[in-house]
Amino acid sequence: MIVPGNTFADYLFFILNLLAWYGGGDITVMMALLRLVRSCVDVVGVDADRLAILDRAAADLVDDAGQTLLRPGDLADYRDAVQQVRRKIGRASA
């Protein structure tokens, strides 16, 4: 018997997209989503497939923030935070 289920990517992108859609204009919500990605990096270890998914999620979040965050200072801070997470992903996958 095969039970269909969602993948890690399905769950991650569902949550990120839904919350970014409704809370994307709020820096607090966007930072919380980025913390979720960072926490996942800590948990997945050296799983290259999942790290690639998390890197794509971080890139998508910064793209979303560019469209939704209204204050330039918030966007600059967010881009810096995303770069830190992506560097962490790079170190974990190396």
- pLDDT confidence of 31, banded at 50, 70, 90? very high
- Sorted by where each begins, the domain ranges of the chain are 23-93
pLDDT in tens, 1-23: 676 789 999 999 999 999 988 99
Residues in the chain: 94
Inter-residue contact 20 to 30 (CB < 8 Å): yes
In the structure encoding, which two tokens stand for residue 63, read together?
């793209």
Other CB atoms within 10 A of residue 24 CB? 18
What pLDDT is stored for residue 55 in this prediction?
A: 97
DSSP class of residue 71? S
What is the structure's pLDDT at 85? 97
Q: Which tokens hold the place of 58?
A: 């971080």
Give the mean model confidence (pLDDT) for residues 25-40: 95
Identify the pLDDT of residue 94.
81
Which pLDDT score, from 0 to 100, does residue 93 have? 87
Instruction: Answer whether residue 28 shows pLDDT above 90.
Output: yes
Angle at 35 between CA 87 and CA 55, to 5 degrees: 40
Instruction: Write down the mean pLDDT value for the chain.
Output: 93
What's the pLDDT score for residue 80? 98
